Chain A
Amino acid sequence: MMMKAVRRISFGALLLTTMSMLSQTRNTNPPQTKDGQQAKSNAVSGPQKRDGQQVFDQNCSRCHTEPQGFSPRIAGTIARHMRVRAGLSKDDEQALLRFLNP
């Protein structure tokens, strides 16, 4: 019984690792350059990412201009900060994150 449990835990952990790596791979693909501006200009190109720009234009830029460049490492923090500050929905936060760090 115990052996089975241990085996299941091991399998579960392995599965979790794999899933975690697969699910995060898309998000951790940083833009080719560290320049945030480059990241944003790339972001505007795809149809899916246009939603993110729309979220930015309609919510963030009502108060402030867009930052001229930032590290992709803080894109998630910015999106979460904006969610709290600007009252964004969960979907808007995710769209904004895709826009900030495609």
Chain B
Amino acid sequence: MRPFSKARRCTFLRRIGSVLLLGVLSITPTLVAQNTPLISGGMGFLTNTNAGNTSYQLVAVPVLAAPIGQHLLIEARGNLLETFSPQGDNRGYNTSAFLGLSYLQADYIATPHITVVGGYFLTPFGTYNERLSPIWISNFQDAPLIYGIGTMGTGVGTGGMLRGNAYSTEKVSVSYAAYFSAGSTNKEFQSSRSTGGQVSAFFPKTRLEVGASYGRLLESGKSNSVGAHVWWTPGKIPLKVRSEYAHGAHSQGYWIETAYRLSQFHGPESLIGRLEPVFRLQQTFRNSPSGTDFLPPADTQRTDFGLDYHLPHELRINTSYARQFSSTGNFNVWETGVVYRFLFPAWRGK
């Protein structure tokens, strides 16, 4: 048997090293199989009867979340809408389609307390825009009347954001977000030049959350918006109380929403336990005319009464009745919807 020369041994060992390294690289993806990209979101069929006119909407809102490595997450949410609205005078229905992005962002978890976000992101002002707007989450079809305050018109920013958990103990958890958005008139990525942020504290024992938001529009007619929110979700009963206040340059307002799932009656899977009565009270005040905050042109009060039914297989039926009072006219809003929520891996695997 011919002995290995020094050079050949070196090559042989290098090859072993390469094979092992390749082994590590090829094994790792299968080991971290919990991090498969996912597709989530909701689909729905919604009806809305506003002051006697009924319109119908087919909605699909897919969400993609794809982790890359240990620190990066790519997220995107799309909106596909098909709307059928009456033309008036019994002339049939208009059909319009919309396809767009709600957000497309990269999240880099830089440290345990700082996540750097870049891209096209939801404006962190108040709670509705980031947390309650998806159709599979919201109890009511309509956004709150004060939604336009602080969300800079589009509700989306193009730029960067720092966010994360600043401090967390058993008694309190403090989260924050601070962003800067450039102005963009691109059809797919519309945003205003603005800056702002949010800070909130959650007290786990009482399950109380309080927070404050700030936003500054840096474009023509520079203006400030401030907001505050209080949420309470007591642990012993399936009750949710959410409220928010916002003050803009030309208007202000608030909303309070309660939801009580009747799961205490024979459990959440029972016939009655699947019911969830919801209620929302809103009020807006107009200080001066403005076409940019999208609030009603006059002081407005609105009450929404809803009844949601949580069917098996992630299906939910939402119904609601609202009465809106304003000096420009009072009217009723009837809404119903069937919403399906989905969540699955982006591709098949073992």
Q: B313 and A28: CB pair below 8 A?
A: no
| Chain-A contact segment, one of B94-102, B142-150, B213-221, B338-346 | B338-346
CB distance from B331 to the nearest CB of A (A): 30
* Structural contact, B24 and A13, CB atoms closer than 8 A: yes
Chain A positions within 8 Å of B165 at CB level: 87-89, 92
Tell me whether B9 is interfacial, beta carbon within 8 Å: yes
Q: How far is the CB of B126 from chain A (nearest CB, A)?
A: 13
**Interface residue B83 (Cβ < 8 Å from any Cβ of A):** no
Chain A residues whose C-beta falls within 8 Å of the C-beta of B109 in the assembled complex: 80, 83-84
B247 proximity list for chain A (CB < 8 A): none
Given A3-B6, A68-B313, check contact A77 B35 (CB 8 Å).
yes
Minimum Cβ distance to chain A for residue B70 (Å): 9
Q: Is A3 a contact of B10 with CB atoms below 8 Å?
A: yes
Whether, in the assembled complex, A38 has its beta carbon less than 8 Å from a beta carbon of chain B, the answer is no
Q: With A and B bound together, what is the CA distance between A101 and B344 in angstroms?
A: 15
Chain A residue numbers with a CB within 8 Å of B231 are 62
Is A24 located at the chain interface by the 8 A CB criterion? yes
> Is there an interface contact between B235 and A57, defined as CB atoms closer than 8 Å?
yes
Q: B1-32: which have CB < 8 Å to A? A: 6, 9-10, 13-14, 16-17, 20-21, 23-24, 27-28, 31-32
- The contact sample of 18 A-B pairs, CB cut-off 8 A, is A3-B9, A6-B14, A10-B17, A10-B20, A13-B17, A20-B28, A24-B31, A62-B231, A67-B314, A67-B343, A68-B314, A77-B36, A78-B38, A80-B35, A81-B75, A87-B165, A89-B165, A91-B168
Is A41 in the interface zone, CB < 8 Å from B?
Answer: no
B73 at the interface (CB under 8 A from A): yes
Q: Does A45 belong to the interface (CB within 8 Å)? A: no
Interchain CA distance A68-B220 in the complex, whole Å? 47
C-alpha gap A21/B231 in the complex (Å): 43
Whether the pair B17, A84 counts as a contact (CB closer than 8 A) is no
| Interface residue from A14, A17, A71, A86 paired with B27 (Cβ < 8 Å) | A17
